[in-house]
Amino acid sequence: MSGYTLTWKAGGEGQGPGAMGQGIDGASLRPDTLGVLDRDAVARVDLFAGQTVVTLGDLFDIAGEPGDCLTLRNTPPLDHLGALMQRGELIIEGDAGDNLGASMAGGLIRVHGSAGARVGGPHVTSRRGMSGGEILIDGNAGDFAGFLMRRGLIAIGGASGHSVGYRMIAGSIVLMQKPVDHPGLEMQRGSIVCLNKDALAGGGRHLIEGGVISAGAMPALLLVLRRLRELRWPVDGPHPKSLPGGEGAGAGIDLPRIAAGKWRLWSGDKFELNKGEVLQWLS
Amino acid sequence: MQIGKVIIEDEFAEAFRMWAARVVVTAIDDHWLRIATSEVCGYGTSVIGCDAEAGVERFLSPDETLDGRPGASLLFFAFNADGLRKAVPNRVGQCLMTCPTTAVYDGLPDVIESDATARIDVGKKLRFFGDGNQKSKVVEGRDEGTKGRRDEGNPINPQSAIRNPQSHSRRFWRIPVMDGEFTCEETIGAMKSIAGGNFLVCGRDQRSTLDATKAAVDSIAKLPDCVTPFPGGIVRSGSKVGSRYKGMFASTNDEYCPTLRGIAKNSKLREGVMCVYEIVINGLSEAAIAGAMKAGITAACGHDIIAISAGNYGGKLGKFHFKLREVMV
């Protein structure tokens, strides 16, 4: 897939608050808007750091050509990366800041690192979180991942912070590690899927325990995991044998193993619509 | 024209414009998959008396299905899209939703509404069986979907940058049932297609002719985009248009009935022919039907039969004519 690669200049040519990435709003770094511009126009794109404006060319070396893919290298964890994005693929070779993919509507974000708080949450211009698209994070995610998400998929390879899926309206969140607390608090619909059988998902009086169920009894769950396998996630890093991602790196989701397996099911939030679900893979 | 000792008659198959929907069904194992397919394709031989013509296009391995379970690709044919709008949800609702462990997916996900294509509401209708407990899951399409039909001629430009971001997502309805959930895609793709491609296998007796015809069906079953909707893929009651009786749209094809040799006007049976079986082929395209006819005839000619012919109505009813001698070139 063609597109631009933006490599952060060490220290940044621009002086002031943007030089080290402090306070820079990364909302302009979107494949769908930058991918249609020529290289000179990309260099002239404004980035905001509070009331200071710097141009993209001041902070990044730009390589590549117009296209659907945008790759960020050596970038400090900027906030709002991929916010409001509608299509294309954003690859972050490093960490992302807060509000990754805020109110995005489509496309794919891959983070080969960790992300900050409110992954897929609402943008300042919206009352809802992401309404489509996919966010795949190899590392950890901060608090409130999936806050108010309306649709789409978030996958977190490492640890997730507090209250994953808080007030989610719908969509899917897949976790490779145990949620810290209260997954799906105040969720209306949607699925939170924990693929680590050693972890204990659930936990919270807002959820209703539904017992153990065969994966084949819920084919929709398999569709989400199939999608992750198509995206070859997770592809990097060590995967403990306790995970159905295979026993080694690069194996991706082992769908037949999951399809034949068992899941623990919780429904919730019982104080809301009660159409959400939290699932933990058992065997 | 001869293939080996088998005579290829100078006849043509007369086929008609119809509409087809492709449904993918999965189940927990092959046993329940075959029960599901036989139920949903049952009573689906001819639109003369059925709501739709139906058949298994091919069976799918777990790697080929969306949910990683064994599956089958099914084709349903009706006179028009409205016919499919009645038949497909009825059949899915009565035969697949009721069958243990099944799930139903769209086999033509790239098809959008147009003059030649349609979306058939299936999960969208059946979800109400959930009585308010139904819910849906929206899943993005496959990676290659971004390069699919909808994107052709849509290069990167500012307009495409704001293309509908949902265009590749698919909605699946999850209906609670007593063994878990019945998952059914919201809509199923349908497109203009062709039905009624056929050929006749003319042999000396039932056993040898049936063996030759079955070999032809087995050969056709390996090909994509087509089905043979009759029992075991074979018709013994080939028909002609009309009847001496009022209200009968079709009646026996007396020209090919061996017991009417010498009685029927214009019997078309060659000397020694005492059994005729017909294979009817419905397909998504002319090429699919022609390819299936060629494969089937070639397979049948490897057996001890006398001739291959084809059914037509003088070319007055069907828009598509498949001349045997051209198909076999």
Banded model confidence at residue A226, pLDDT cuts 50, 70, 90: confident
The backbone torsions φ and ψ at residue B64, rounded to the nearest 5 degrees and listed phi first, read: -95, -5
Q: What is the pLDDT of residues B286-302, one digit of tens each?
A: 999 999 999 999 999 99
Q: What percent of chain A has pLDDT over 70?
A: 87
Contact A6, A73 (CB under 8 A): yes
**Within chain B, which residues score under 50 in pLDDT?**
143-166
Q: How confident is the model at residue A244, as a pLDDT?
A: 53
> Which residue in the set B62, B166, B179 is minimally distant from A217, CB to CB?
B179
More confident residue, B154 or A143: A143
Question: What residue has token string 């300042």?
Answer: A124
- Comparing A159 with A197, the larger pLDDT belongs to A159
ipTM (interface pTM): 0.88
Taking CB atoms and an 8 Å cutoff, what residues of chain B touch A259?
62, 67-69
The residue assigned the tokens 């979907």 is B145
Minimal Cβ distance to A223: which of B66, B135, B161: B66
From A87, A153, A227, residue closest to B163, measured CB to CB: A87
Q: What is the pLDDT of residue B159?
A: 30
Burial classification of residue B278, based on how many CB atoms lie within 10 Å of its CB (0-12 exposed, 13-18 middle, 19 or more buried)? buried
pLDDT at A239 over 60: no
Residue A118, pLDDT above cutoff 50: yes
Flag whether residue B159 sits within 8 Å of chain A, measured between CB atoms.
no
**Chain B 44-63, residues with CB within 8 Å of chain A CB atoms:** 62
Residue A255 is predicted with a pLDDT of 73
What is the per-residue pLDDT for A52? 86
What is the spatial order of strands in the sheet that A46-49 belongs to?
A24-25, A46-49, A52-55
Q: Do B135 and A189 touch (CB under 8 A)?
A: yes
Are the beta carbons of A213 and B103 separated by less than 8 Å?
no
Are the CB atoms for B72 and B60 separated by under 8 Å?
yes
Which residue of A lies nearest to B184 if distances are taken between CA atoms?
A220
Residues of chain B contacting A193 with CB distance shorter than 8 Å: none
pLDDT at A237 over 70: no
Split at pLDDT 50, 70, 90, the class of A165 is very high
Asked if B45 and B52 touch (Cβ cutoff 8 Å), the reply is no
pLDDT on residue A200: 64
Q: What is the pLDDT of residues A198-220, one digit of tens each?
A: 766 556 788 998 999 988 899 99
From chain B, pick out residues whose CB is under 8 angstroms from the CB of A68. Answer: 146, 156
How many helices, marked H, and strands, marked E, lie in chain A? 5, 15
Minimal CA separation from B117 to chain A, in Å: 26
Contact yes or no for B135 and A275 at CB 8 A: yes
Close Cβ partners of A103 (under 8 Å, ≥ 6 residues apart): A83, A84, A121, A122, A123, A125, A126, A128, A129, A130, A131
Mean pLDDT of chain A: 87
Average pLDDT over residues A85-100: 96
Query: In the prediction, which pLDDT does B289 show?
Result: 97
What pLDDT is attached to residue B151? 36
Q: Which of A214, A223, A231 sits opposite B67 (nearest CB)?
A: A223
DSSP string, B301-312: TTSS-SEEE---
Q: Which residues of B27-59 are buried (b: 16+ CB within 10 A; e: fewer)?
A: bbeeebbebbbebbbeebbbbeebbbbbbbbbe
Residue A15 has pLDDT above 80, yes or no: no
pLDDT of residue A278: 92
pLDDT level of residue A283 (50, 70, 90 thresholds): confident
- How high is the pLDDT of residue A203? 62
Flag whether pLDDT at A48 surpasses 50: yes
- Say which DSSP state B63 is in: G
Amino acid at residue number B251: S
Q: C-alpha angle with apex B288: B283 to B293, nearest 5 degrees?
A: 95
- A 10 A CB-CB count for B329 gives 7
Listing DSSP states for B164-190 in one string gives -TTTTEEEEEEEEETTEEEEEESEEEE
Tell whether A132 lies on the interface with B, counting CB pairs under 8 A: yes
pLDDT at A236: 46
- Shortest distance between the Cα of B64 and any Cα of chain A, in A, equals 11
